[in-house]
Structure formats: C-alpha cells, structure tokens
Copies of this chain bind each other. A is one copy, B any other.
C-alpha cells in the first residue's frame, strides 16, 4: 500500500492526494498503528544497529573506569547518528561466529579483541564492516581497520619519567590472570625497549607476575634487591599495589614509586594520587563509533587506521628514588 509513503515519508518521487494522505494519517492514529522495524530491517537489509564485541565477560567491573568511559563514548556517538548499540559477550563470539553475521548488525566494533583471531577473519570475510579498537601494535594485518592507542608511546613516557627521576632498578608488574592478554606483555616489551633507549640496561628491568590483588607485594618488598619503582601494566593493578604498600607501611612515593597504565579519574581518588599513562578512552570510543558508521555508509574498502597519542598524567605516586 501507499500507506508507507505517507507515514514514513518514503518514496519522495511518488505523490499522493492530499486528502488521501490525511485519511491515512487519521486512521493510523485511530488504530495506534506503529511501523514494525523488524519488517523494515528485513526489507531494507539494514538494522541501524552496531554490535560491541568484547574479549572478556567481566567487562564493566574492576577497579577502573575504563569500560564506563568506553560505553559513554560509543553510545553518545551511536545515538547521535541514529544507531542503536547492542552488547555481545564472548559467548556469542568463539562459540558461534555465525550469530555475528546473522543480519542483526550493520557493523561491529571489536573492543580489545585479541584472542579469537579466527572469528575476526570470519567477520572480515563476510563483508561485515568491522573496526578494531585495540593497541596499534597488536594489529598485524594491514587490511584490518582499526583505531588504536599508542602503547609504545605510553611505555616510553613512563620509562623516560622514571629514568629521569633517577630510578635505576624497576619492576614491571603483570597480573597473573592477564598473561593470556597480549597487551600486558606488549606494554612490558615496549617499556623494556624504551628503558634501554633511555640509557638503562636490560638487567635493570625485572618482570614480576603477581596476583591481580598484588598480594605478592608483602613477600616481595623485603627482597626487592634495589628496585625503587614499580610499573603496573594496568590501572587497577597499580591501585592494588598502592593498597598493599599502605598496608605494609611502605611510603609511596618516598620509599617506592608506582605508575600505572590507562589513567582514569579513579587515579585522583587514590592515596597518593596515581601517576599513570593516559588514553583518552571516551574520545577514542566515540571516534571509533563514528568511523564505523562511516564505514557502513560508504562502500570504499580502504582500511582505516588511526592511532591516538598517549600522554602521561604525573600525579603524586612518583618521585626521586630514596637516598641510601
């Protein structure tokens, strides 16, 4: 019927009599007619929905505001473009990549997906617009579109900061549960490289694999062998270290400097306030979402690459190493 033309403003090139249109509108109102979006989606083969795929299920928790910021950025950008946002956890992913390409999404934003490369390959092969939100150096395939952050730059800034303060023996802390996560190792690697470039030596950087709650701190500290600064691969790890240090009566930063990654406003709540490498997560997420929607609309297949610079938020948890 031409009802659709009147009610949804479709078919601009199709005209309808004014009184016919009026009748249609009146009847529609009387019957409380509501267009069914599923039918429209089927017909038009688009859903105005983007999917968010995460690698880990317990996303929103942890001692960090990372995912809050991320969600804020994504929803803000998506809503303003008339797109809805649907959440997928990894269950949908690895177990059944088909469900991602079953027509429900116009595009996918892959958040810190690092495992399950196969499912990524599938998505790309299926011509489902896909954008990775990931560390730039983890994206190896140049045909992949991504928005990345500069872990290398962040690690360099942390290394330069500590080195210039005079530290000559530092520990890089990786959470036990995160060793499957390449990002922790990537940051450790970049940090070590940068340290060498600062003029330090290899044996001045020790890699420590600790429980997420940093319970290892107590045993480690008395045997720290001259280490004067700890770098945690994550913000939440650094916060745990601060708590343990306080419990052990270790003064930060007088006795020990502590630095984290992924600085959020949580770092202002800790005591002392945490020095940390920062990514503008919300801004990045908004940009990523805009890019993805642009990919959906345009048909050119040039992969999109974009790297956000990092910066170092110097707060209160770092200082010159203790004199002895």
Copies, count: 2
* Interface size of A as a range: 35 or more
Which residue of A34, A35, A98, A99 has the most chain B CB atoms within 10 A of its CB atom? A34
Instruction: Kindly state the separation between the CA atoms of A85 and B59 in the bound complex, as whole angstroms.
Output: 14
Q: Chain B interface: which of A38-46, A188-196, A290-298?
A: A38-46
A223 beta carbon closer than 8 Å to chain B: no
CB distance from A51 to the nearest CB of B (A): 9
Residue from the list B35, B71, B86 in contact with A60, Cβ < 8 A: B71
Query: Mostly helix, strand, loop or mixed at chain A's interface?
Result: mixed
CB distance from A288 to the nearest CB of B (A): 16
Q: Is the CB of A59 within 8 A of B35?
A: no
Q: Is the CB of B67 within 8 A of A61?
A: no
Residues of chain B contacted by A58 (CB below 8 angstroms)? 72
Q: Is the CB of B42 within 8 A of A39?
A: yes
Q: Is the CB of B71 within 8 A of A103?
A: no
Q: Is the CB of B35 within 8 A of A102?
A: yes
> Which residue of chain B has the shortest Cβ distance to A68 in the bound complex?
B60
Known: A49-B86, A68-B67, A269-B269. A103 touches B61 (CB 8 A): no
